Amino acid sequence: MGITEQLIKLGGMDVPEEAAAMMRLSLFDWAACGIIGAGEADFAGFRRAQMIEEGPAHVFGGDASGAATAALVNGTLSHALDYDDTHFAHIGHPSVAVLPAVMALAETLDMRLTNAVDAATIGVEASIMVGVWLGRDHYQIGYHQTATAGAFGATLAAARMLDLDKHQTRHALGLCASMASGLKAQFGTMGKPLNAGLAARTGVEAALWAQAGMTAAADGLDGALGFGATHHGEGADVKLPRKDWQISEISHKFHACCHGLHAMLEALSGANVAADRIAALKIRTSPRWMSVCNIAEPKTGLEAKFSYTQTAAMALLGHATGTVGNFTDAITRDKDIRDLRAKIEVMEDPTLSETQSQITLTLDSGEVRRMRHDLLAPMTLEARSDKLRGKVRALLGEDREEALWHAVIGPELDAVTACFAGN
């Protein structure tokens, strides 16, 4: 069965309770990222430029618009801080492309939150399947999988919400194949979060156009001249979910920096040692991250988010790496941090996966401690909830976190979108 047929079948499947529960946690995380992202001054002009139409779909920061525009804006703003969830097999951020489309269309359709969550779960699972199907060649050649695979996930979620039949869904996916886009060349610019917004808008538009009677190539995704073949897709084997859905392997960010640093920071969380007792610290990591987040002597807050030495020193000296505001230019010049950075060595270890890190800590007494963490280590939903609530409290404050949490675990969509203004 080809990937297109698998996606069509996935669109009609029942969603397991545990998968939906994970989706609600990602909704909570995504909404918090969007509320904070709306406050980024750099994106104020972009947001204003889109507010040219009235509609029922709420936008982060206030106001409302049509579904496609709201999906574009909310997808962009929620990825502005790059603090949203990741799926390492997908090689991308699944929720940031799918949830903006789902929430905007759900408001337009006056849908209850429970149904929107089911559609989002289907969409995220679809984006992961397409991401795996496209594979690493697609990513390595320069495509941004969050946007490309994410657009197909957003489209399938929207098709489910609109109750499209199999033929209409196939056309929607075919239309998406001509629209899905996003380049890694945009990394480090405002174009990167825009990629996510474009994917979300594509999902809404492709499904609405198919509903309106637009047709497209039946094999636009997996045909000889389809998206996969023309975009360096590997065509890897994928299977429909059964008992275990791939959404269960989503990794949420608990540190406001590159995800390549997170396994190391989680390992260090158990160090429990005064920084002045550290004689040496060796960090072993996957070779993938050596050219991504290994800036040895960062000079700006942005560079600090891509530095093993800086973030390790910050964590050991008690600077909360989950707090966005701690990543400043000034903190890279802090004398205690610079002194500790000088004791840290980072080395690649091909035996480690990109979700793993290993630490060797040598104390002034000669004692050696070893720590290790894998971001894919099992975590209960309860433990994940607690960590996410701590993250969102740091982002929004206690009262706003409490309001958003109770909205997300409830049945009504408007309780969630009422939080989008950030008030």
Instruction: Read off the tokens for 247.
Output: 């959404």
Provide the residue type at 151 as one letter: A
Third-level CATH fold of 259-374: 60s Ribosomal Protein L30; Chain: A; (3.30.1330)
Instruction: Please check whether residue 247 is in contact with residue 153, taking contact to mean a CB–CB distance below 8 angstroms.
Output: no
Contact residues for 69 (Cβ-Cβ < 8 A; gap 6+): 50, 51, 52, 53, 55, 57, 59, 201
Order of strands, edge to edge, in the sheet holding 344-348?
A: 344-348, 278-285, 356-363, 368-374
Residue ranges, comma separated, of all CATH 1.10.4100.10 domains in the chain are 3-251+380-417
Instruction: Please check whether residue 388 is in contact with residue 29, taking contact to mean a CB–CB distance below 8 angstroms.
Output: yes
Nearest-angstrom CA–CA distance, 246 and 90? 9
Q: What is the pTM of this model?
A: 0.93
Smallest CA-to-CA distance from 368 within 248, 279, 303 is with 279
Instruction: Read off the tokens for 133.
Output: 């199907």
What phi-psi label fits residue 309: left (phi over 0), alpha (psi between -120 and 50 degrees) or beta? alpha
Identify the helix (H) or strand (E) that includes residue 341. helix 335-341
Nearest-angstrom CA–CA distance, 264 and 357? 5
Provide the residue type at 392 as one letter: V
Residue ranges, comma separated, of all CATH 3.30.1330.120 domains in the chain are 259-374
| Homologous superfamily of the 3-251+380-417 domain (CATH) | 2-methylcitrate dehydratase PrpD (1.10.4100.10)
Nearest-angstrom CA–CA distance, 389 and 32? 10
pLDDT of the chain, 423 residues: tens digit per residue: 899 999 999 999 999 999 999 999 999 999 999 999 999 888 989 988 887 788 999 999 998 999 999 999 999 999 999 999 999 999 999 999 999 999 999 999 999 999 999 999 999 999 999 999 999 999 999 999 999 999 999 999 999 999 999 999 999 999 999 999 999 999 878 999 999 999 999 999 999 999 999 999 999 999 999 999 999 999 999 999 998 899 999 999 999 999 999 999 999 998 889 999 999 999 999 998 998 899 999 999 989 999 999 999 999 999 999 988 899 999 999 999 999 999 999 999 999 999 999 999 999 999 999 999 999 999 999 999 999 999 999 999 999 999 999 999 999 999 999 999 875
Instruction: Read off the tokens for 367.
Output: 């004692």
